[in-house]
Amino acid sequence: MLLNLQNILPSIVPESCLLILVGLLLGGIIFGAQEKSPPVMNSDVFFLYLLPPIVLDAGYFMPTRLFFENFGTIFWYAVVGTLWNAIGIGISLFGICQISAFGLTDITLLQNLLFGSLISAVDPVAVLAVFENIHVNEQLYILVFGESLLNDAITVVLYNLFKSFCQMRTIKIVDIFAGIANFFIVGIGGVLIGILLGFVAAFTTRFTHKIRVIEPLFVFLYSYLSYITAEMFHLSGIMAITACAMTMNKYVEENVSQKSYTTIKYFMKMLSSVSETLIFIFMGVSTVGKNHEWNWAFVSFTLLFCLIWRALGVFVLTQIINVFRTIPLTFKDQFIIAYGGLRGAICFSLVFLLPPAVFPRKKLFITAVIVVIFFTVFIQGITIRPLVEFLDVKRSNKKQPAVSEEIYNRFFDHVKTGIEDVCGHWGHNFWRDKFKKFDNKYLRRLLIRENQPKSSIVSLYKKLEIKHAIEMAESGMISKVPSSASLSENHEGKIKPLSPTEMENMREILTKNLYQIRHRTMSYNRHSLAADANEKQAKEILIRRRHSLRESLRKTNSLSRERPAAANTKRFLSLPKNTKLPEKLRVRNKTSSRVGDSSDSEMDAATTVLNLRPRAGKILRDQREKQQRPLPEFRMEWKNEVDGKQDGGEAHQEPSGQPQPSVGFRQPLLTRPRFGTLTGEDLPTDHRSTRPMPPPRLVRQASQGERQRNKPENQPY
């Protein structure tokens, strides 16, 4: 039964709840043993040591593309939403305090506003901890999570603003404006510091290929440095470290070795797990003790107002922002956003930071904050999952699902994902393109090292390509391979009905082996890195494509060996990848390439060319020499090719001594891999043109897919 509990518990109760309970237990023990309050979590300790790793982890693994696509909404919720909450809670609490029956009349408006501002801070730690359990769509996830990160700026500003107002005698209008201006400075300043240090980190890693072992250290050092620097200038440290992590991620990932990258990931996860655990335990410990003052009215109304204002705020804001969004937020989304606004350790620490001289009722505030935190983490954390499922009413079928259903479901999911990818999902974005241009032109040149290390899928891809090419060249395509045609032997005889166990078996086999849908963004998980499974899957798919392409090539080749017209198709290799082929050429190409599923015409060309040039090794060596060939010369060659075609293809059978025209474009003679270019393992490569577009990058971070796509097109035009 205990084991049973172990399985059920984590899915019902979010881990944060359990940790707080452990903390409570611990605190109780200490209290009981020593008869005085246990050590309260020092705010310094929290802000300086415990919080940065968590935010760093979140920022590093943040799906940047998704984040920026939704940036407007996130910003809107973070800024306006937090302001709304803070002021709303503050004023309504002040209203409550005016009622003398509750004995709270000595709390001024400003104090209430300050309290409102610190309690409205949605906490990324708590949000993350709870959202791991419920699987919401990634857009929703990024909204809540992004909001919780960004609202740190607002919280810091409001908190400091009201705190200083509380301590001032009179408040002038200009002070209020200064406060507003302060917000911008704090937020933007923090981000700038983060970005700056992110660039410095990326630049540093450019030169670290001799000292790979300490590469991870730079990542952590620079991010922490950004946090400390921002805090030193009274700017928003959280925004700084988030910006730093996001910036670093893009460039550092390409500079460091595979092993360093893995180290960084795992170490980051480890640190953030430890921090999170400590935070929650501390919260539990600090609860037990003598720092409390209980006042029914204040506490309950605080809780009530938090919930009400959050719900109202989300609702109203969503109505406004839906006008500008392409994908409007449904009611279910709104509910999750509102209900998912959990408070956590940040409010807790901020309340401990209140100067007791100015706030005689500090203990009351502490009590109220603790109650709110406990309520949100426990009650909301536990109930959010059943509520989400309840809202998601599906027409569920109680019948035992057929074996085929899983197949069909997965089939549909793959199709849907594929079409989404074709659409580019959220479409084109002017600013993003501009940034990408700038990025490619200046930043990447500066920050990323040439001579890139290769990741496993990339090397695999290259190996396959070379193997394929050499095989083609040398064997002359004689050897047979069991093709998929062998699967289609006539199946005689009746299909016998299967017993239930056999059905179960089948279903099990399918569940385990059907490919997963590619997640556009890795669903963020504090405790695990899901990348490896996807990599393996991507590898398999790639290999299989190679096989099927090879087969279709074999078929093509056996068909077209006699056709002289096929020789013309080799011209396409020399064209830049995105030249619009005139109609005539395309039509001719079509006839020779209509075999098999895939219609990669360049592959056909590759075959036929290979027929003429059996020595793949020499080809590769030739290509190496052609790396440096400047563009105009290439153009000339291309022109010659086409001219030659006009006279009839045969003349071009053996452009002997002439360098392969395709090479001028730094593309391999052999194939036109759709991911970019392929070179020999040890060729010195210019990273821009020969950069393969490795799927694992995709798996790690979807946003890179777009950039990779960009590469082959960035030819020196």
The residue within the footprint of another protein, chosen from 389, 508, 540, 681 (CB under 8 A), is 540
Of 152, 144, 141, which is closest to residue 227 (Cα–Cα)? 152
170 or 396: CB nearest another protein: 396
**Contacting another protein within 403-442 (CB under 8 A):** 403-405, 407-428, 430, 433, 436-437
168-193 burial, b at 16+ Cβ within 10 Å, e below that, comes to: eeeeeeeeeeebeebbebbbebbbeb
Radius of gyration of the chain (CA): 31
- Cα 677 to Cα 691: distance, rounded to the nearest angstrom: 7
- Return the C-alpha torsion angle 438, 55, 258, 621, nearest 10: 0
Residue 6, both tokens? 């172990």
Distance CA(151)–CA(208), nearest Å, equals: 36
Closest separation between CB of residue 660 and another protein, Å?
A: 19
Footprint of another protein on residues 281-340 (CB under 8 A)?
326-328
The footprint of another protein on residues 29-88 (CB under 8 A) is none
Residue selected from 100, 170, 479, 488 as contacting another protein according to rule CB under 8 A: 488
Compute the least distance from the CB of residue 5 to another protein, in Å.
Answer: 33
- Residue window 631-670: x/- pattern of binding to another protein, with contact defined by CB under 8 A: ----x---x--x----------------------------
**Residue 504 binds another protein (CB under 8 A):** no
Q: Which 94-153 residues touch another protein, going by CB under 8 A?
A: none
In our burial notation (b when 16+ CB lie closer than 10 A, e otherwise), range 456-494 reads ebbebbbebbbebbbebbeeebeeeeebeeeeeeeeeee
Site membership for another protein, residue 706 (CB under 8 A): yes
Nearest to 588 by CA among 551, 563, 561: 563
Residues whose CB is less than 8 angstroms from the CB of residue 342 and which lie 6 or more positions away in sequence, other chains included: 122, 123, 126, 127, 130, 376, 377, 380, 381
Site string for another protein, 458-487 (x = CB under 8 A): --------------------------x--x
**Min dist. Cβ of residue 633 to another protein (A):** 15
Write the CB contacts of 256 (distance below 8 Å, at least 6 apart in sequence): 205, 208, 212, 215, 216, 264
The span of 49-57, 216-224, 496-504, 556-564 binding another protein (CB under 8 A) equals 496-504
Whose Cβ is closer to another protein: residue 232's or residue 498's?
A: 498
Which residue's CB is nearer to another protein, number 474 or number 597? 597
Residue 65 CB, nearest approach to another protein (Å)? 12
Span 573-612, contacts to another protein by CB under 8 A: 576-584, 586, 589-590, 597-602
Smallest gap from residue 693 Cβ to another protein (A): 5
Binding mask 150-169 for another protein (x = CB under 8 A): --------------------
Min. distance of Cβ 397 from another protein in angstroms?
Answer: 5
- Work out how close the CB of 666 gets to another protein at its nearest, in angstroms, rounded to a whole number: 16
Q: Which residues contact 658 (CB under 8 A, 6 or more apart)?
A: 637
Taking the complex as a whole, how short is the minimal distance between the CB of residue 326 and another protein, in angstroms?
Answer: 6
Q: Of 177, 294, 515, 651, which one interacts with another protein (CB under 8 A)?
A: 515
Please report how close the Cβ of residue 480 comes to another protein at its closest, in angstroms.
17
Q: How far is CA 332 from CA 12, 144, 389, 400, 434, in A?
A: 21, 13, 10, 29, 35
- Residue 75 buriedness (CB in 10 A; 0-12 / 13-18 / 19+): middle
| Closer CB to another protein, 586 or 618, in the complex | 586
List 495, 501, 630, 647, residue binding another protein (CB under 8 A): 495
- Comparing CB distances to another protein, the nearer of 169 and 512 is 512
Cβ-Cβ contacts under 8 Å for 299 (sequence gap 6 or more): 367, 368, 371
- Confirm or reject binding of residue 191 to another protein (CB under 8 A): no
Per CB under 8 A, contacts with another protein among 548-577 are: 576-577
Cβ neighbours of 70 (radius 10 Å)? 22
Nearer to another protein, 160 or 417 (CB): 417
End-to-end CA distance of the chain: 69
Quick one: which of 36, 445, 467, 544 contacts another protein (CB under 8 A)? Answer: 544
Out of 8, 29, 379, 402, which residue is the one contacting another protein (CB under 8 A)? Answer: 402
DSSP symbols for 29-86: HHHHHHSSPPPPPPHHHIIIIIHHHHHHHHHHTS-HHHHHHTHHHHHHIIIIIHHHHH
Q: Which stretch binds another protein (CB under 8 A): 86-94, 265-273, 303-311, 492-500?
A: 492-500
Closest of 66, 57, 56 to residue 705, by C-alpha: 66
Residues 696, 457: contact at Cβ < 8 Å? Answer: yes
Tokens of 159: 């908190």
537 lies in the site for another protein, by CB under 8 A: yes
Amino acid symbol at 229:
T
Complex with another protein: residue 519 or 629, whichever CB lies closer? 519
Q: Which of 698, 540, 53 is nearest to 345 (CA)?
A: 53
Q: Which is nearer to another protein, 296 or 431 (CB)?
A: 431
Q: Return the residues of window 672-701 that contact another protein according to CB under 8 A.
A: 674-675, 693, 695, 698
Please tell me the distance from the alpha carbon of residue 50 to that of residue 30, in angstroms, as a whole number: 22
Closest separation between CB of residue 578 and another protein, Å?
A: 4
Output 316 or 541, the one with its CB closest to another protein: 541
Q: Min. distance of Cβ 149 from another protein in angstroms?
A: 24
